[in-house]
Amino acid sequence: MKKSVLALAVAAALTGFGTVAYADTTLYGSARVSVDYDEFNSDYIRAPNGALVRTRPGTDAWDVYNNSSRLGVRGEEDLGGGLSAIYQYEFGVDMTEGGNFNSNRPKWVGLKGSSWGSVTAGTQWTPYYNVIGVGDIFNSSKVFDNDTYLGNTFGLRMDNSLIYSSPNWSGFGFQAMLVMNGSCGTSDPQTPNELCKTQPDNKLPGNLSDGVDMYNISASYKNGPFFAGATYMALDGEDFEGFLTAPTYDGDQWGLAFGYNSGPFAVTLAYENGDVNVLNFGKTENLYLTGQYTFGNNVIRGAYGYNSPDDGQFILADGTRLTQSDLNNYVLGYQYNFSKRTRAWVEWMLTDVDSDLVGDRQAVSIGTRHDF
């Protein structure tokens, strides 16, 4: 059965409709599973009397890990006059815990014009990620996380989003996103009534404002092997800097990214600056450099990241002093391509924390991936 025909049947089953309109529809998916070893050293805080108090013991463990496996359908219907209807409906698939579907993947619908670009609404990749994510080159989903990507909190995929994407003007492109999250009830007694607790499925804390809760714009240029992009995002909420269990909901963040990909060589460099993240309090700077070399069926990758948070001290209610530390992130990886759709990998990650209070972290991931 052709993938386009099967896609229509899957789309009907997933959406519950008995019929599906004719369109250029494609079924796709990716199965990504690894065996991981994770090691965390102990964390400490310094009590008011100067004594070190361990807050987390060191651990090490093996785990069979799902790396963002997914299943979806996408399509386009020609409406005539240069206008098309476009859509994507994707589910995350947990390959290691019963194969359950989860909803934190892109799901959107929109219109595209041959001369003016496109407008889409739903759960979507942010313009921020479409620029800074040029460095997201490794297979393990543990690599490009809060330690290496400040946008991991609000710059990944966003629900309730409306995005305009410009046409390609000789390599130049532009995106603008608005997030309007409505309102929701709070389940956290420490959280002010006008805000909702951060949700795990890409939702902004609700009711940040009566209208637009988040803005994000980006501009990029791609010509042959060269790529350059800039992006800015801001949350329009109450001043939340004093609440140490949540990010700053009125913060902003910006980033720059550059890439070069020619023949067997590829390099990327990304820089981020802002306070829209849950890793640190206050402003944080982040630098992330990646390199890749391909020969035959083999791919070698490496990366270095430097994360530098605000160096001020934060004092908790009990007098405990919390000092933030710089992070040095190192990644090495090897990938073997059995075909265009099937690969295997080995990747090693180390987060070296510049502090006696916070333990270093490292992991090894050995996995395989098949795309269809």
List pLDDT tens digits, range 358-368: 667 899 999 99
Q: What is the arithmetic mean of pLDDT over 97-125?
A: 90
Where is pLDDT greater, at 125 or 281? 125
pLDDT tier for residue 312 given thresholds of 50, 70 and 90: low
Global pTM exceeds 0.85: no
pLDDT tens digits along 4-20: 544 544 454 444 444 44
Where is pLDDT greater, at 180 or 310? 180
Structure tokens at 138: 């490794």
Cα(302)–Cα(347) distance, integer angstroms: 9
CB distance 204 to 182 below 8 Å: no
pLDDT tens digits along 36-51: 999 887 666 666 666 6
CATH number for 178: 2.40.160.10
Task: Say how many C-beta atoms besides its own lie within 10 A of residue 51's C-beta.
Answer: 9
Overall number of domains in the chain: 1
Q: What is the arithmetic mean of pLDDT over 297-325?
A: 76
Main-chain phi, psi angles of 110, to 5 degrees: -175, -175
pLDDT tier for residue 149 given thresholds of 50, 70 and 90: confident
> What does pLDDT average to over the chain?
81
Owning domain of residue 103: 3-371
Q: What is the arithmetic mean of pLDDT over 124-143?
A: 94
pLDDT of residue 156: 86
CB distance 147 to 279 below 8 Å: yes
Tell me the sheet residues that pair with 341: none
Burial of 12 (0-12, 13-18, 19+ CB in 10 A): middle
Cα(160)–Cα(158) distance, integer angstroms: 7
Task: Say how many C-beta atoms besides its own lie within 10 A of residue 147's C-beta.
Answer: 21
Chain-centre distance for alpha carbon 274: 16
Cα(355)–Cα(229) distance, integer angstroms: 33
pLDDT of residue 97: 81
pLDDT tier for residue 102 given thresholds of 50, 70 and 90: confident
Q: Which residues, including other chains, have CB under 8 Å from residue 214's CB and lie 6 or more apart?
A: 154, 158, 177, 178, 179, 204, 208, 233, 234, 235, 236
